Structure 1
Amino acid sequence: MATSRANEILPVLEQDIVTGKLTPGTRLDETVLAEKFGVSRTPIREALNRLSTSGLVEIRPRRGAIVAAISVQDLMNMFEVMADLEALCARLAARRITPAEKEALRAAHVDCHALSGTENFDEYYVLNLRLHDLLYKASHNSFLEKQVCELRRRLSPHRRLQVRIPGRILASSNEHGALVKAVIDGDAALAEKLTRNHVAIQGERFTDFLATLPSHYLQASA
């Protein structure tokens, strides 16, 4: 039950932090939050611990949890590494994917693409995660899969916001179509290139990404 309630509380706190409603340095008092959400302190503590693993919250001994400071440069560095890790997954997947995994990847893309003309942001985000998970598993490199999943957890709140950029669902789904085809066709070099471009934030996507961030990210970069 505590984990179930923590799962409900987590996205609310994530959203408040990445949109600037809760600014860096804000103390996250377990008792106050428990009263706000109408729960015991146990699911609050679990949610805060999970936010700590994603880098959004800093838990200090005997001082409790506070909202962590993070800059645009920090985020860009993480996205840069994420793009390379996912590109490597795609390259290996193109060489190692099994027939059953090909079918699962095709089906995942069909499900994502069905939402490409909608504004079902949260549903698309979940299906998008499923597609990328299949790509990681198809690399058949468990160490790489673990590393990319850990970094994805750090970036998850910001990737969730990206989906809400106008036109991003359609663009993302079209990019999925090309990279999925490359993986299934066994074109490792193309799969690597397309996946890196899909994950990396550059050009107009960088400007759009900045527009989703509250001002304190830019202040932290100064």
Structure 2
Amino acid sequence: MKTIASLIAKSIAVAAASLTLAGAAHAGVVVSSVASQGVLTKKNANFDITNTEARSVPVWNVADDSSLLAFCIEPTVGMHTDNLNYTGSLFTGFGTSVKRLYSLYYSSFATSSGVLTGDNAVKALGFQLALWELNNDNGNLTSGNLAMAPLGNSTAAKAVIAEAKTMLLAATNESTAIVNDYKFTSYAAAGSQTVVTAMAVSPVPEPSSFAMMGLGLAAMGVIARRRRAA
């Protein structure tokens, strides 16, 4: 009986904590680069650059309450990584395709330390490109304002672009269910691009589940009383 009661209490505590964190503001955090890859831009088709030149695709680490992997949502704005007054707040601006992108891929490369190496770095950089496309452009890396040209790129950069294209195809597939939910927090500072972190949301029992737990507690109470009476 104590076990079921503790589970109910824990579920309520998780829900309350989620609400508290969602409304919390964080200031004075440090944003630093944990992975970066230069990719070539298409002439007249990317970031308002008129010549074909390299553009750095970054993945960031936000040092706040913990070390959190972060992705930019403003590709045409530069980033300042010195100790600016980044302020965190709940972010709810992502559409369904972006949420599906996180559901499918985020857990595969996210680490508690924010360190990215090898395939994880390639996946994370591809994820950044896919996020930019879905959140800021037309969802297609070969056209639009954020088009990427694989010609002339290094082997490493081509791998990042290929990863992004694969992720975009999956994220725009409406038949794929969103099974992993995340709470998003944006970090913004004057004169610097805004980045977003993601924290997995623990499922909270539905009201019907609480009712079933209550019935279980009542039944256990009856059994316990009968045993004591015997």
Note whether the superposition's TM-score is higher than 0.5.
Answer: no
Going by fraction, where is strand more abundant, 1 or 2? 2
- Structure-2-length-normalised TM-score: 0.26
**Which structure has the larger Rg?**
2
Larger helix share, 1 or 2: 1
Using structure 1 for the length normalisation, give the TM-score. 0.27
